[in-house]
Amino acid sequence: MKRREFLGTLGASAVAFTLPSAKAQQGSMSSLPQLAITLDDFNLFDTPTMTAGDRNRKILDALKAENLKAALFVTGRYVDSEQKRAYLKEWNDSDHIIGNHSFSHLYYPDTSFAEFSADLLRGEKIVKDFPRFKKLFRFPYLKEGDTAGKRDGMRAFLHEHEYHNGHVTIDASDWYVDGRLRQKLKQHPNIDLAPYRNFYLAHLWERSVYYDHLAQRVTRRRVKHTLLLHHNLLNGLFLGDALRMFKARGWQLIDADIAFADPIFASEPETLPAGESLIWALAKQTGRFDKALRYPGEDGIYEKPKMDKMNL
């Protein structure tokens, strides 16, 4: 299943952004890979395994255990009750960045510039009054425009409204693993979760190493990475395991504001279709790495055969 098709099945089931100065330089000379956590959507709902509130608390607790500040990119239509707003306030009160992921999570290639840009502003209304709101916008599905006009139109719109692009450097398909896990739990509520945990951790590690190596080849330096995850059951269960894995394997966990201060996030690759991981797009733009790239960069179609083979 493709990213867009899968997310389309999910329903109910401000201050200006400023780049930090001194804190942003922390670890700048480190030879270790550096990684910040970003989570998309904030689509909260109960599952037989975990309530919405429990999931929210477990993800926050996993970050707190590592003294780590993440960035949460909120899709406005999911904050549809006072309870959901209270859950979002927990992120604000824990000092995590709150970013804009639009209101409706539209697929830009199928949407006009006028409708898409208006939806961004509609999403801003949901989150702008939280003190930790930053003018960071993450494109739904990481799709930034299928024509030069739409790509450049949104870039000009972001600049006009003092937004920065909340780029991903490490893309992954946690959303697909989460969907498979929830489907299995509906059929077999008491299944052993360990195989899903192991698959998930292996997937995150594989994609992180790939994008880190690609980044070094493209930029000839270590960049500060932003990992794309989602606020889902999978991370309610296993985010803590993922963070411990990265630390155990020599990666340095950093706050999201430090990562977004890396100059690489000001890049505007000239690729078409625009989007994907920022590292993917920068590599594509050079024309030198086509054998190392696939399109889309990440999607469920790549993980499905592996999970099918393992009966997950």
Q: What is the pLDDT along the chain (312 residues), one digit of tens a residue?
A: 566 664 554 443 333 333 333 343 334 435 899 999 999 999 999 998 999 999 999 999 999 999 999 999 999 999 999 999 999 999 999 999 999 999 999 999 999 999 999 999 999 999 999 999 999 999 999 999 999 999 999 999 999 999 999 999 999 999 999 999 999 999 999 999 999 999 999 999 999 999 999 999 999 999 999 999 999 999 999 999 999 999 999 999 999 999 999 999 999 999 999 999 999 999 999 999 999 999 999 999 999 999 999 999
CA gap 117, 177 in Å, rounded: 31
Residue 268 within any structural domain of the chain? yes
Residue 15 within any structural domain of the chain? no
Residue 305 within any structural domain of the chain? yes
**CATH number, position 224:** 3.20.20.370
Residue 86 within any structural domain of the chain? yes
> Residue 143: which residues within 8 A CB-CB, separation 6 or more?
107, 108, 109, 273, 274, 275
Number of domains in the chain: 1
pLDDT for 302: 99
Residue 215 within any structural domain of the chain? yes
pLDDT for 286: 98
pLDDT for 3: 60
100 neighbors 120 (Cβ within 8 angstroms): yes
CA distances from 174 to 26, 190, 256 (A): 29, 21, 19
Beta bridge partners of 77: none
Residue 192 within any structural domain of the chain? yes
pLDDT for 48: 87
Q: Which domain holds residue 200?
A: 32-309
Residue 27 within any structural domain of the chain? no
Q: What is the pTM of this model?
A: 0.91
pLDDT for 15: 31
- Please give the structure tokens belonging to residue 276: 């994907």
Residue 36 within any structural domain of the chain? yes
